[in-house]
Structure 1
Amino acid sequence: MSTHESEPESDAESIASASSITASTFIPSFTPVPWYHFSFRTIVLISLPLFSLLGLYGTLILGEANGLFKGIIAIISIDDPKFPTTEDDLLMRYTQIGWLDKQLTILVTFFAPVVDMNQGALSMFSVFGAGQFGAAWALMFMESLRMGNRRRVVSFAGTFGLIFQNISYTVTVPIWLFIYLLTSPVSKPFPGTHANSVLLVSPWDLRILPASIALSYIIPTILMGLQSPSVVSSLTHQRLIALWQPFPLWTVLIHMFLRSILQTLSTTLFSSTTKATTTTRPKTTLGTTYLSNAKPVYRFILTLCLVTHLPILILSLLPPSLIPSTLPTLHAMSAQSPLDIYIPYFPLPSYKVSTLAEGTHNFLIWDVYVGSFAFLLWGILLYRNATTEKAIVDPNTSLPIYRELLLGERIEDGMAWRKLAGKVVMWCVLSGPIGALAVLLWERDAIVRQKIKQGL
Structure 2
Amino acid sequence: MTTIIKLTLPLLCIYTIYALFIFSERNGLFPLIREAIESRTLPTGGNGTVSLRTIFTGNKPLDHGLASIAPFFWPAIDGSTPELSLYALVVAGSFGAAWVLVTMEGWRMGNVNGGRVVAFPSIFGILAQTGSYALTSPLYCALHIWTSSIAAKPDARKINVPRAVSNALPFIFVVGYILPTVAMCLPAPSIISFDTKQAFHAAWQPCPLYISFLATGANLLFSRLFTTRDNDDDGQAGLRALRRVYAFAFACATIPHVAAWMISLASVMFPVLFNTGLVAHLHPQRVFVNALPWSGLRVSTIGEGALRFLQWDNVIGSTGILLWAVAMYATAHREVGIKLSWIKLGVKIGLLALVSGPVGAAVGLMWERDEVIFSKEGLKQQKEVEKKTN
Give the TM-score normalised by structure 2. Answer: 0.91
Amino acid corresponding to residue 286 of structure 2 in structure 1: D
The alpha-carbon deviation at position 361 of structure 1 amounts to 0.4
The alpha-carbon deviation at position 162 of structure 1 amounts to 0.7
Residue 351 (1) aligns with residue 351 (2) = no
Unmatched 5+ stretches in structure 2: 382-390
Mapping for residues 19-418 of structure 1, pairs under 5 Å: 40-78=1-39, 81-85=40-44, 86-150=48-112, 151-190=115-154, 194-196=155-157, 198-263=158-223, 266=225, 283-319=231-267, 322=270, 328=275, 332=278, 336-348=282-294, 350-391=296-337, 402-403=338-339, 405=340, 416-418=341-343
The alpha-carbon deviation at position 214 of structure 1 amounts to 1.0
| Structure 2: distance between partners of 1:94 and 1:168 | 22
| Structure 2: distance between partners of 1:321 and 1:50 | 39
- Deviations along 1:159-190, one digit per CA (max 9) or x if unpaired, are 11111211111111211111111110111234
| Structure 2: distance between partners of 1:440 and 1:390 | 16
| Structure 2: distance between partners of 1:67 and 1:119 | 17
- Deviations along 1:56-98, one digit per CA (max 9) or x if unpaired, are 21111111221211111111113xx222214222101111111
Residue 428 (1) aligns with residue 357 (2) = no
Q: Hey, which of these two has a bigger chunk of helix by percent?
A: 2
CA 349–73 in structure 1, closer or farther in 2 if over 3 Å, else same: farther
- Deviations along 1:423-452, one digit per CA (max 9) or x if unpaired, are 101111111111000000111111112111
Amino acid corresponding to residue 185 of structure 1 in structure 2: S
Q: Percent identity, aligned pairs only?
A: 32
The alpha-carbon deviation at position 370 of structure 1 amounts to 0.3
Amino acid corresponding to residue 84 of structure 1 in structure 2: P
Stretches (4+) displaced over 4 A: none
The alpha-carbon deviation at position 389 of structure 1 amounts to 2.0
CA 328–233 in structure 1, closer or farther in 2 if over 3 Å, else same: farther
Find the structure with the greater CA-based Rg.
1
Classify the secondary structure of the residue corresponding to 1:284.
helix
Stretch of structure 1 that moved more, 153-162 or 64-73 = 64-73
Q: How many residues align?
A: 376
The alpha-carbon deviation at position 237 of structure 1 amounts to 0.7
> CA RMSD for the aligned pairs?
2.2
The alpha-carbon deviation at position 346 of structure 1 amounts to 2.2
- Deviations along 1:334-377, one digit per CA (max 9) or x if unpaired, are 86222211112121274321110111001001111101111101
CA 319–355 in structure 1, closer or farther in 2 if over 3 Å, else same: closer
- The question of whether the paired residues in 2 share the 8 Å contact of 1:317 and 1:338 is answered with yes
Amino acid corresponding to residue 115 of structure 1 in structure 2: I
Classify the secondary structure of the residue corresponding to 2:93.
helix
- The question of whether the paired residues in 1 share the 8 Å contact of 2:267 and 2:282 is answered with no
| Structure 1: distance between partners of 2:351 and 2:80 | 31
Unmatched 5+ stretches in structure 1: 1-39, 268-273, 392-401, 406-415
| Structure 2: distance between partners of 1:58 and 1:165 | 17
Amino acid corresponding to residue 130 of structure 2 in structure 1: N
Amino acid corresponding to residue 287 of structure 1 in structure 2: G
